[in-house]
Chains A and B, each alone.
Chain A
């Protein structure tokens, strides 16, 4: 295994400090947005929720916070080194995806080694890579854009396929929120499925260095 705690200074940091800070900001915003979003959506329900106006203000604040954090993340990822992890090697991808899926379905129960351990070239396994690519560069931006549209409802299309434009925006926002919440559950669970139970969490707190690959 070529990952080891980051206290040593050699090699390449897979989770640089900015990324770890962004990650926990994003996680906090996301949790708050789920909580306040549910309160807004189910306003007036019998179950106790955050009061409507408080929920609205918090949802706005954390929505803006997450948007700014996302911009930092996206810029740093596209321009910086973090981006290389998001470039899939398309050839033979399907086979590698199946291989990883098989590991989660079978190998993991038999304590088999991870088929695609983190490397300096790619810290993600193929399944992670494709999912994160979709989530971070399609799901989250769409969630953000549909959310921002509520600040400027006049920018929403007046009509969309014969339906009220804002209605479509609102329902999309709801659906993207829902899908990303489902993703978050999976994300949280799979974080326990690294080399050790808490290893992935520790990486995201303390960072993880790997040796540079010899070309």
Chain B
């Protein structure tokens, strides 16, 4: 307990006295499910909002216990704080909001889906500037967001009252599914554009199914997942070496131009030599009168 609150400021300790307990949970009166109210102070200290106290976001109605009912009804929205200022231009909040508003989730469940459905404000931290070696970590973090619901039909049922078919079945057309989900993010296929941080998740009939859009030189991944990595590599090693030093092999995409030309030259030289030899044999045989 002391250790946990060690991360927290004095103002937050009051809240973490209760919410810092791992077992802190209540039974949801509506769904009957167990809802965790625990806040991991250590993880929060590593998040984007490490510098904010609880009460910057949660209203004064929480300062006392039992909390005021009105305080609980207050909806918190990321954009209340992040709109109309360009403190974090790289986070692209405005275009994210536009995308989210049109996304399949916001359309299908307008009152039940918010930024916080995917981003726990206590844990959220930006990762899009991941160094090359951390691509798998970013993929893991971003996919975990979707898998929290899409591998957990309880949560889907809570939101919609029905369940969805398992991802394994709906993605059976993709070979080596698990491998793909370690290397590539759900949003790569489920958003339609090459814009970074695109939040416009489309209906399933618009999802990407074409292997070659990733497995080719002009891969969509270069504009999304590998955008920052490519820029970083190019700066360090120059454009040519960027792909040589790439940290993952993706069939059709990780292609080195020089290696391809060297291969072509080898085969062309071999063929040329053999043809020349053959021609000489034929000419000499003719000369001998065979």
B-contacting residues of A (Cβ < 8 Å)?
Answer: 40-45, 52-53, 56, 104, 108-111, 153, 163-164, 166-167, 169-171, 174, 178-179, 181-182, 185-186, 189, 192-193
Q: Is the CB of A178 within 8 A of B263?
A: yes
Q: Is the CB of B270 within 8 A of A185?
A: yes
Q: Which of B211, B246, B267, B290 contacts A178 (CB 8 A)?
A: B267
Q: List 28 A-B contacts (CB under 8 A).
A: A40-B252, A41-B255, A42-B252, A43-B215, A44-B212, A44-B213, A44-B252, A52-B215, A53-B211, A56-B211, A108-B281, A109-B280, A109-B281, A110-B284, A111-B285, A111-B288, A153-B179, A163-B245, A166-B249, A167-B254, A170-B251, A174-B259, A178-B263, A181-B267, A182-B270, A186-B270, A189-B274, A193-B281
Given A40-B251, A166-B248: A186 in contact with B274 (beta carbons within 8 A) = yes
C-alpha spacing A167/B72, complex, angstroms: 52
Contact partners of B213 in chain A: CB under 8 A: 44
Least CB distance from B134 to A in Å reads: 13
Q: Is residue B247 contacting chain A, with contact meaning CB distance below 8 A?
A: yes
Q: Is the CB of B252 within 8 A of A192?
A: no
Q: Is residue B130 contacting chain A, with contact meaning CB distance below 8 A?
A: no
- Chain A CB count within 10 A is highest, among B218, B246, B277, B290, for B277
In B171-210, the 8 Å CB interface with A consists of: 175, 179
With A43-B251, A52-B215, A111-B285 given, can you name 12 additional A-B contacts, CB distance below 8 Å?
A41-B251, A42-B252, A43-B211, A43-B216, A44-B213, A44-B218, A153-B179, A164-B249, A166-B248, A178-B263, A182-B270, A185-B270
Contact partners of B245 in chain A: CB under 8 A: 163
C-alpha spacing A163/B252, complex, angstroms: 19
Q: Is the CB of A44 within 8 A of B280?
A: no
Q: Is residue B238 contacting chain A, with contact meaning CB distance below 8 A?
A: no
Given A111-B288, A164-B247: A56 in contact with B175 (beta carbons within 8 A) = yes
Contact partners of B249 in chain A: CB under 8 A: 164, 166-167, 169-171
C-alpha spacing A13/B235, complex, angstroms: 63
In B232-290, the 8 Å CB interface with A consists of: 245-249, 251-252, 254-255, 259, 263, 266-267, 270-271, 274, 277-278, 280-281, 284-285, 288, 290
C-alpha spacing A173/B266, complex, angstroms: 16
Instruction: Name the residue on B nearest A165 (C-beta).
Output: B249
